[in-house]
Chain A
Amino acid sequence: MHKRNRLFVSIALVYGLLGGLIAIVRLIDPSLIPGNVPRAHGHIMLLGFILMTIYGIALHVLPRFGGFPLYSEQMADWQLYLANAGLPLMIAGWLGWRDMLVMVGGALTYGAIVLFGLNMILTVRAGGRGRVIPVQ
C-alpha cells in the first residue's frame, strides 16, 4: 500500500479521535471550547475521518478493481496536501467565528475533492491509459 494512502488512513484516525473528543468536551461543558463546535465536529468527522478513510482506501483499491494504474500519482499527492491544508483552516474558522477562513479552507478542501474525483474518473473509465498494473 502506497505510503500516501497509508497516511490518508492514519490521519483519518487522528481526526476521528479528535472529533470525538471535541464532541465529548462540548457535551460536558459547552463553554470550554468557543465557536460553532457542532459544525466543526461534524466536518472533522465527515471531511477528516470518513472522507480521508475513503480517499486512502479508494486510491488503493479502485485502480486494482479497474485493472488500470492510478491515472496520476501527483494529483493524489496534491490531494493529500490540499485536504490537510484546507480542513484545519475550516476548523479554525468555525471555532473562531471567521467566515473568511472557512471559505479559504473550504476552497482548498474542495480542490482536493475535485482532484480525487477527476483522478478516479480518469482511472476507472474504460480504456483509461490502457497500461496494465504490473504484478505486485
Chain B
Amino acid sequence: MKIELIVSGVCPFCLEAEKVWRVAAADHGFEFVVLDIAQPEGAALAQRLNLQTVPALLIGGVLRAVGVQSPEEALTLLHSPRQEAHDRMQQMGFAFSPDNRWFILTAQVYLMLAGLGLLMNSSFLSDNAARPAFMHLFTLGFMLFMIYGLASHMLPRFTGNPIREGSWPWLQMGLAHCGVIGYAAGYLAGRHTLIVVGAVLTWLSLAIFAFRVWPVLWPEEA
C-alpha cells in the first residue's frame, strides 16, 4: 500500500509530519511519497480532494488525516481495521466534502418548496390535509438536511475524531430523499402506505446518521 503526504514549502509543521510518516512507512514496509502542493502532481491531488489544509495524509489513495500526527497516532491509522470502502473512517477537511455539500445544497431546495407549499396551502387551498406534507418538507427537507450536512462537517473537526464515510453518507442521503419525498407525496396523494414508507425510510436515514456520528462523539479509546 502507498502512503502519500501532501505538504507545502511554507508550512513549518509539514517537516514534522514528514519525519513521523517516513519512519512509520519504513517500519511497516509501505511505499512513501511526499507531494508538494506547489507542484503539478500535488496540486492536482489537492484539487481532486478539495483540500484546504496541509499536511494531508493519504493511505491507499484515501484521505485519512490532516495535520501532524504523533508516532502513536500514525501507528493507529496504519492499523485501523476500518479500511474497507463501505465502512471508512475519515477526517473532514476545511472545505465541504461532496456529501455534505449536497446535503446543504438540497436543503435550500426543500426550504423553497416548503415555503411555497405553505404559502399556497393557506392562501389558495382551503383543505388542510396537506399541512403535514409541507411542514415536513420544512422540518425534514430543510432542518434535518442542514443538520446532516453541518454536523457531519463540523463535529469531526470539533473533536478531532474521524467519521464514517465511504458509502454511508450516500445511503443516508438516498434514504432521506426517498423518505421526505415519499412522505410528502403520500399526504398530497392521500396514500397512507406511501406516508408510512416515507416515514420509515426517513427514520432509517436518521439511524445511519446517528451510527456515523456516534464514534465521532465517543471514540473507542476515550
Assembly CA distance A61 to B202 (angstroms): 28
Q: Is B185's beta carbon under 8 Å from chain A?
A: no
Q: Is A17 a contact of B207 with CB atoms below 8 Å? A: yes
Is B74 an interface residue when CB atoms closer than 8 A count as contact?
Answer: no
Instruction: Assess the B139–A45 pair: CB atoms within 8 A.
Output: yes
Contact partners of A61 in chain B: CB under 8 A: 154, 158
CB-nearest residue of chain A to B199: A24
> What B residues does A17 contact at CB under 8 A?
203, 206-207, 210
- Which of A8-16, A101-109, A115-123 lies at the binding interface? A8-16
Cβ-defined partner of A27 (8 Å) among B147, B199, B209: B199
Q: Chain A's interface: helix, strand, loop or mixed, by majority?
A: helix
Query: Is there an interface contact between B151 and A53, defined as CB atoms closer than 8 Å?
Result: yes
Q: A9 with B217: in contact, given A27-B199, A50-B147, A53-B147 (CB under 8 Å)?
A: yes
Beyond A20-B203, A24-B196, A57-B154, whether A6 also contacts B159 by CB under 8 A is: yes
Partner of B218, one of A6, A27, A50, A57: A6
Q: Cβ of A1 < 8 Å from any Cβ of B?
A: yes
| Cβ contacts under 8 Å, B139 to chain A | 45-46
**Counting CB contacts under 8 A, is A28 at the interface?**
yes
Dominant SS at the B interface? helix
Closest chain-A Cβ to B91's Cβ sits at a distance in Å of: 15
Mask, A33-56, CB within 8 Å of B = 1, is 000000000000110001001000
* CB closest chain-A residue, reference B205: A20
Total A-B contacts with CB atoms under 8 angstroms apart: 53
Q: Are B200 and A24 in contact (CB under 8 A)?
A: yes
B143 within 8 A of A: yes
**Chain B residues closer than 8 Å to A24, beta-carbon distance:** 196, 199-200, 203
CA distance A16 to B200 in the complex (A): 13
When C-beta atoms are compared, the residue in chain A nearest to B192 turns out to be A27
With CB as the reference atom, state the residue of chain B lying closest to A38. Answer: B132
Closest to B200 in A: A24
In the bound assembly, the distance between CA atoms of A16 and B150 in angstroms comes to: 16
Among the listed A1, A21, A46, which residue makes an inter-chain contact with B203, where contact means beta carbons less than 8 Å apart? Answer: A21
Mark each residue of chain B from 180 to 215: 1 if its CB lies under 8 Å from any CB of chain A, else 0: 000000000000100110011011001101100110
> Is A75 an interface residue when CB atoms closer than 8 A count as contact?
no
Top 6 nearest A-B pairs (CB, nearest first) are: A20-B203, A13-B210, A1-B158, A6-B217, A1-B159, A24-B199
